[in-house]
Chain A
Amino acid sequence: MKLKWWHIGLLIAFGLAIISPLASSWPDGLERVAEDKGFIDAAHNPTFEIIPDYVFPGVGNEALATILAGVVGTLILFILTYGLGVLLKRREA
């Protein structure tokens, strides 16, 4: 099978998921503001958890758990958005 442009694009996305343990763990802009302005405690815990905080549950090594979460999420998004495209595209006569 010949490698198409979008295979490369998808590989780049998975590559980003694999380097995700390198991400800064500092709070993001909204969290920073919520902490500084004193309303961070208003946040509720989620009612259920599947892969909370982008850490795959039950995996001891945290970097590996993050990579797994990233790869799973990237795959879900690819299937979802590609599938939506297939469903919505015009039917060419």
Chain B
Amino acid sequence: MHIPDGFLNTATAGVTYVVSAGGVGYSVKEANKKLGEKHVPLMGVMGAFIFAAQMLNFPVMGGTSGHLIGGALAAILLGPWAGVLIMACVLIVQCFVFQDGGITALGANIFNMGLLACFVSYYIYRAVVSLMGESRTSTLVGGFVGAWASVFVAAVACAIELALSGKSPLGVALPAMAGVHALIGIGEGLITAVVLSFVMATRADLLKLQKV
């Protein structure tokens, strides 16, 4: 869902840049307050894992693929602000080193796949776990639903940005983006649940780290 250069008009690109810069700046402040020794290796592994996993496009229907965003996984394990920081790092490197996502669209990409994906998934995950009670099952269900929603909401935001930029009317872009990403989100949910289940089986204490 990386928006390339040329898809967004100046106003949309500018506003999302300002919001994302503010969000990342605030993430730095929050991380500075709460990040402890134990979070550091998990930050590194999450950054590496999300970058690598994003390369693995999986087919979702004839002629279309999707890949993990990873914001949900990072936010559930480390907390939403730390998740935003990790996603910003991934998106900045993808943009400048791999030419995936345009430089002018970096603000929008960090907004959609960083800020929105991390916060939507984190709070849905928390809501599911508190409704169902803390358990292995509720963690997996919350992770799946939160991750699915992160992709869906990011796709809706992307459609709105495209419509505001005059690329495609909202009535066209919204159902198209939401439809295909409702499928891609299933992949995001499954991968997130599998990784959470692996973490619970091997290092359950990592899920108990203070959320940043």
Contact = CB atoms under 8 A, between A and B. Distances in A.
Interface of A: 4-6, 9-10, 12-14, 16-17, 19-20, 22-30, 32-34, 36-39, 42-47, 49-54, 66, 69-70, 73-82, 84-86, 88-90, 92
Interface in B174-212: 176-177, 180-181, 184, 202-203, 206
Given A26-B64, A29-B180, A52-B98, 9 more contacts: A20-B52, A28-B1, A43-B4, A52-B99, A54-B100, A85-B40, A85-B41, A89-B39, A90-B36
B48 A29 contact: no
Given A80-B47, A88-B35, A13 B181 contact: no
15 contacts: A5-B41, A13-B53, A19-B56, A28-B57, A28-B66, A28-B67, A50-B97, A51-B97, A51-B99, A53-B100, A73-B94, A74-B51, A80-B47, A81-B89, A85-B39
B126 interface: no
A90 B32 contact: yes
Q: Which label, helix, strand, loop or mixed, suits the secondary structure of the A interface?
A: helix
Interface string B4-21: 111100000000000000
A26 B60 CA distance: 10
A27 B93 contact: no
B52 A74 contact: yes
A80 B89 contact: yes
Interface in B37-58: 37, 39-53, 55-58
Contacts of B43: 81-82, 84-85
A6 B31 CA distance: 20
A73 B97 CA distance: 8
A92 B208 CA distance: 20
B173 interface: yes
Contacts of A54: 55, 98, 100
B68 to A, nearest CB: 10
A35 B17 CA distance: 26
Contact of A42 (B2, B56, B57, B167): B167
A26 to B, nearest CB: 4
A23 B100 CA distance: 16
B56 A81 contact: no
Contacts of B203: 5
B173 A33 contact: yes
B35 A32 contact: no
Closest 10 CB pairs of A and B: A81-B47, A82-B44, A85-B40, A85-B43, A9-B45, A6-B41, A44-B6, A16-B52, A78-B48, A24-B65
Contact of A30 (B1, B28, B46, B59): B1
Interface string B101-118: 011000000000000000
